[in-house]
Structure 1
Amino acid sequence: MIEIERKFLVNSSAFKAEAFNNYSIMQGFLNSHKERTVRVRLKKDKGYLTIKGQSSENGLSRFEWENEISKPDAEALFELCESGIIDKTRYEVKCGNHIFEIDEFYGDNEGLIIAEIELNSENEDFEKPEWLGEEVTGDIKYYNSQLSKQPYKYWKL
């Protein structure tokens, strides 16, 4: 139940032509403490409850537990979430032996596009597509739990 993941900014929309799947995601946070987050997510017509632990020092890994819940249960739990619901489209792109999940954000996070790749080990090699930009792994401001509190549109760029 340890998630190992790297995050990158995306420097072009070329990934959309390479995507084999895309779907909308709405998510909110019942708890966004840095030591643990509790997330409610609607993805397609399914709900999910996810608990994540604190990230490792380098930001690459952390405990993650996820369980599917009904859509009505997820919708009800959104009523208890902290303010700042995340709205995004997720694109899935196969690259070599891996799948990148690219999130294009809307609302107060419009203009932000982040690619994530899950790995089996922190030192695992992977192919980097041309549209992959600066790595932001471990930069807490790019965590969805933080984007719900400090949206991208308010950042000083």
Structure 2
Amino acid sequence: MSVEIERKFLVLNNDYQQTAQRKTRIVQGYLNSSPERTVRIRIRGQQGYLTIKGKSSQDGTSRYEWEKEIDLSEAQQLIKLCEPGLIDKIRYEVSVGQHTFEVDEFFAENQDLVVAEVELSSADDAFEKPDWLGEEVTGDKRYYNSCLMKHPFNQWIN
């Protein structure tokens, strides 16, 4: 088990696509979406993953995370047991300075939402902010995937 430290941002435009090193489709669901602990099944490309995350810190920057790679066929079966509301997205991996941003373009009920996350070695780790990075939404639970599956972006009242 390790502590995941990350910050999350909205994305202003699609300039990140030009410098992305990798692009992968991700479909994921939740066996448990409780804020105290989430249990996620993810299919990333042709590989499955089981991930358990603990409760987020007060500011939303860190939480415990455990992940195990599982067979694709196991993940496909487990997805069928998940709570209603799958997440479907394309993830772009973009190196900026010493860090890699994971930029997620959401589909289906979360269409038009694009969010970037950067994983850090410490909460005060400095990082280069690319021009396409917008408002910080770290700690805003509405942007957690486990919340987006229950309250999709296209149902939000602006």
Normalising TM by the smaller chain, what interval? over 0.9
Shift of 1:20: 1.1
Q: Distance in 2 between matches of 1:21 and 1:75?
A: 23
Confirm or deny that 1:104 pairs with 2:112.
Answer: no
Q: Distance in 1 between matches of 2:19 and 2:151?
A: 30
Please list, as runs of the form range in 1=range in 2, the aligned pairs for 1:13-28 lying within 5 A after superposition: 13-28=14-29
Which amino acid in the other structure matches residue 115 of structure 1?
A: A
Q: Where does the alignment leave 5 or more consecutive residues of structure 2 unmatched?
A: none
Which amino acid in the other structure matches residue 138 of structure 1?
A: G
Confirm or deny that 1:35 pairs with 2:56.
Answer: no
Which amino acid in the other structure matches residue 15 of structure 1?
A: Y
Residue 54 of structure 1: aligned partner: 55
Q: Where does the alignment leave 5 or more consecutive residues of structure 1 unmatched?
A: none
Q: Distance in 2 between matches of 1:20 and 1:108?
A: 27
Secondary structure in 1 matching 2:10: strand
Which amino acid in the other structure matches residue 114 of structure 1?
A: V
Shift of 1:55: 0.1
TM-score by length of 1: 0.99
Identity level (%): 55
Which amino acid in the other structure matches residue 148 of structure 1?
A: M
Please list, as runs of the form range in 1=range in 2, the aligned pairs for 1:83-122 lying within 5 A after superposition: 83-122=84-123
Number of matched pairs? 157
Shift of 1:18: 1.2
Residue 69 of structure 2: aligned partner: 68
Residue 81 of structure 2: aligned partner: 80
TM-score by length of 2: 0.99
Secondary structure in 1 matching 2:131: coil
Q: Distance in 1 between matches of 2:152 and 2:57?
A: 24
Moved over 2 A (4+): none
